[in-house]
Amino acid sequence: MSGDPIDQLNQGLQYFRECLERDDLAALRTEIAVLAYSFQPTLIHDFSTVYSFDPPELKVIGGTVISSAVEKALDMVEERKESYRANGITYYRPWIWFMTDGYPQHDTKPDLDRALARLARSDQAGQVKFFPVGVGGADMAWLNGMLPGTSAVHLQGLKFNEMFEWLSSSMSSVSQSQPSDRVQLAAPTNWGEV
């Protein structure tokens, strides 16, 4: 995702923050963390509210190891939920927004199978909501098979701003509900193809 795509993604993260800041309730109820991955996952920005979210400048390193990224994201979500539980705080179902322009290049089959099985268990138990997004030449057939019952969205061109606006709007809708409510999200028609 080098060149213009990574530049547009970085601009999109800035725009995401701006969109969320427009909704006071969503800004207070949304926490954001950024995990980058290449040969290993790297925590770029730990969980924070929107007002403390300083969108990082992502850089391209190369390589794609998806299994460790999925495992790390699930670990982070579980640790955050445990912190909420320990403090008696009710929370919404966490979302993992997973973006790639490739496919699992350097994963071993056992590692990938284990990570995807864990993801499926977490999803089926209602512990997490997973959103796979393919960018550019991403292997959409593989992404669609990542989590049974979940369709990947292919980003149209470089519509990162439109994607983040949709994500912000979706978070606004969820923030106005109760944590146990099921919220119907709008289709990603202006930025992605399912």
> Domain count of the chain?
1
CATH number reported for the structural domain that contains residue 116 in this entry: 3.40.50
Q: Domain range for residue 80?
A: 4-193
- State pTM to two decimals: 0.93
Q: What is the pLDDT of residues 97-123, one digit of tens each?
A: 999 998 888 899 999 999 999 999 999
pLDDT at 180: 80
* CB proximity list for 108: less than 8 A, separation 6 or greater: 67
pLDDT at 48: 96
How large is the angle between the packed helices 160-175 and 4-21, nearest 10 degrees? 30
pLDDT at 88: 96
